Structure 1
Amino acid sequence: MATIIKSILKFYYYMNDEISDPRTNDWFLMSSPWPGVAILGFYLYFVSNLGPRLMANRQPFKLDRILQIYNVIQIIFNIYLIYKALTLAWLNEYSYYCQPVDYSYSPRAIEIAQTVWVYLIVKLIDLLDTVFFVLRKKNNQISFLHVYHHTGMVIGAWGGVKYLAGGHGTFLGLVNSFVHVIMYSHYFATSLKISKPWWKKYITQLQLVQFAIILYHFAQLLWTDCGFPVWPAAIFIPQNLFMIVLFGDFYYKTYIKKRTPKLNGVKNGFKNGIPNGNSKLQ
């Protein structure tokens, strides 16, 4: 037993200290995984158990103004991340085929690492999406896909700051930030009653394109050697395939299957293909 514990501790110190990026080790939330684990643990407990119980006998909170401010903050943060990613890296000297991490203490390398850290903070702020669902009693929107995606993004972002604060993986943050600008702009427009529901399917399509692009981006590591480690490909290729499956299933059920009337039986106001009086078309 003592040998097992010793091996676990040795592995922990190896992962946390020996192979981590020394430039980021002293940054907020980065000295060990435990603060992040605590945040995610409380998040999962709150959205799955504590929050719904606290709201069970309460009226939903009206958070319209708070959500508008939140959406604007998200738009600003993500535009900032896009600007930094482009000006420091992807419109500068970065290669779209393969880009190693610059672990130096040069001003540019440090600024890139700091931008990756800001991305982590934004992913933590994203967790409020689910908290707001709970407070507004929109429990039907707290799906496995939603929680899994938000949790996974925090874990991935933390790992990026801890081990790979720069280089090839930052392209994920660039693409993801662009998608989030579109998403939160839509949410903000919806809160002002100027967004149209039919736009929503194109946002899901954009998310699917995002996962496909990121999948290919990391797949390039399998045949291109630039000094960036290959192991992230073993994580992000299956991860993005999984997200394509999950989002694809959501898209099919929400925008394709849902609109297809049953020929036998009643669905969406149709019976045997004929409006039965409950159809929204009448």
Structure 2
Amino acid sequence: QRRDFKQDPTWTPPAPTTRNLPSFEYLVVSKESLLSLLRKCTNCRTGENHLSFRMEGMAVTCTGECNSCPHKFTWGNIKVLNTSKCSNMERLPKINVDITYGAVITSIGGTKLHQICSLVGISPLSNNTFHRIKKLYVSPAIAETFWKMQGKVIDALRERIEKGGKLHIAGDGSFDSRGYSGKYCRYFFLDAENNNVRARMVETPDTTERKRKAALAQKRREIDRLTRPLVPSAADPNLEEEWSSDEEGEEETGEDEEEDEE
């Protein structure tokens, strides 16, 4: 016999269950499916909602008002993170931060990310938003995590040395723009036993001095040209000085090119 739950004051509905929920944090939903869910009023069940959407990168905010009852609602597809600014104009949807982080880690970049999203029909991040999130939030977080990990690597190496252990270190480095600049070099030490990496940024000491000498030589040549007569004679001392300074500049330029090629 079916029990009349309306007459039973102790009756409670069973707890809702969820089965086969995907483990991924984000699920892609089509615009048509979303509209069908948000259009119907959940209050009176007979009316339909007037909808207004706002896009912020990949974040969606929808406000609705029923045409049959006074019910209003605001729905968003993602939570908004707190920022250091107290202004209500500063909004930081979590999905925008996560997609920027993924693009930075995988070296896709903002331009390719924008192209991919536009081709498949997903609301993309603007270049300004991408670089702002990268500069203010993603890069500092990566740097903080990296240096914490580096500290643990150094402590482990120090502990191994103190215990009398041996180190098997491999190293490799590269300059910031090969063939053009030798000012900065990224050098990496690798612990060959556990593959831990120790990175280091170094500045080539003689690069700044070479650039300074080249700039002085260029200024000297310009002064020589400005101070010599309009129709110089063979005995003009400025000619000899200019030729010698030109030769010095060519020699310094040749040395720089040879060092860059090396």
Q: What is the TM-score normalised by the length of structure 1?
A: 0.25
Which one has the bigger strand percentage?
2
Question: Which one has the largest radius of gyration?
Answer: 2
Higher relative contact order (CA 8 A, sep 6+): 1
Which one has the bigger helix percentage?
1
